[in-house]
A and B are shown apart, each in its own frame.
Chain A
């Protein structure tokens, strides 16, 4: 039972991610696009935790811990960008 349910959930989470990537295209602002990256890191963590259980590889839990620990670094680097007026037109 769990042998099918667990990978099915990982599959579901990854499809979720691919859908979330749409936000990177639509924008419209840099912050909106950043959100998709945020979604990706929390979802990857969940997927890794489930994989750790399914594949019986406990070290994957440490990988998940690493990702959540370091997730805020990208946001910190992002907010260093100068905030622009009128919705940050970042299209070329």
Chain B
């Protein structure tokens, strides 16, 4: 009973926060609502028994998107110093009908799903039956890499394509001063970095390793690692640069390249495409993907083609 009240409150807060995030009177409030929405969302995932998603939401929402929006807001303020950056988008007349229609649609699907007898699908059963043979304890990692490997391969490709697209359209000064915080040399910031950055790396490695049996995996580990990169950029320890760095580029493609090579390898022995050979290959692939995901997110945040040691580094 009390769980039901709790869930209802979380749902109401989510809807309220989402409405505020698109309707708030000022852009700054909209950003804050969006950040808070992310945190509330991770509570909702927690209640839905999905710690993997709660973790991804927390790492991306708290670590990367909030800072990204804050930086974007700062650039708007700097473009127009005399006042609050105005909302430039006009709401279409169709917005309300579309929102109501999609709300109804999702609601009806939810209702239908809750009314029909719950029976696990054949695919789900097949996954759980063959899970033991894979040596993985976490069915999510199993699905991502073994049963739906092709999807994951394409996801990694999309991430790389997104970065290349962003790099093609952004042109920032080198170094870009608006990425750095106001007083990056405050002693407290140094203390924070000295503790939090090593801890993030540790947690990231833990999540990568735990991903095979427990909550975690390449995406979560990569997002956490990316957050520490964002931290270093914000505090001026690392700077965006327009010169590509060879090692960095190798890291960017490491995930995709190793996925393709490991996916092709079974063909040589007459096996099937993307049938990953053994648990060692999965660990290797996950590590490479973590590195690529982290670097891609950091470079997307910096809007740059490379990174270099910063002025405060």
- Direct touching of A and B (C-beta under 8 Å): yes
What residues of chain A have their CB less than 8 Å away from a CB belonging to chain B? Answer: 4, 7-8, 10-11, 14-15, 17-18, 21, 24-25, 30, 33-34, 36-37, 40-41, 44, 47-48, 51, 55, 57, 59-60, 62-63, 65-67, 69-74, 76-83, 89-92
The listed residue (B32, B51, B54, B84) touching A37 by CB distance below 8 A is B32
Task: Name the interface residues of B8-34: CB closer than 8 Å to any CB of A.
Answer: 9-10, 13, 25-26, 28-29, 32-33
Assembled-state Cα–Cα distance A59/B138 (Å): 13
Residue of A nearest to B192 (CB): A72
B182 at the interface (CB under 8 A from A): yes
- In the complex, which residues of chain A have a beta carbon less than 8 angstroms from the beta carbon of B87? 92
Residues of B near any A CB (own CB < 8 A):
2-3, 5-6, 9-10, 13, 25-26, 28-29, 32-33, 35-36, 39-40, 42-43, 46-47, 49, 51-52, 54-55, 58-59, 62-63, 66-67, 70-71, 73-74, 77-78, 81, 83-84, 86-87, 178-183, 189, 192, 196, 199-200, 203, 207, 214-216, 224, 227, 230-231, 234-235
Q: A44-B42, A66-B224 are in contact. Are A34 and B71 (CB under 8 A)?
A: no
Secondary structure type dominating chain B contacts: helix
Question: Which residue of chain B lies nearest to A82 when distances are taken between CB atoms in the complex?
Answer: B77
Sample of 25 A–B contacts (CB below 8 Å): A10-B6, A37-B35, A40-B36, A41-B62, A48-B42, A51-B43, A51-B47, A55-B46, A59-B55, A60-B54, A62-B215, A63-B46, A65-B203, A66-B203, A69-B196, A70-B63, A72-B192, A72-B196, A74-B67, A76-B67, A77-B67, A81-B70, A81-B77, A82-B74, A92-B87
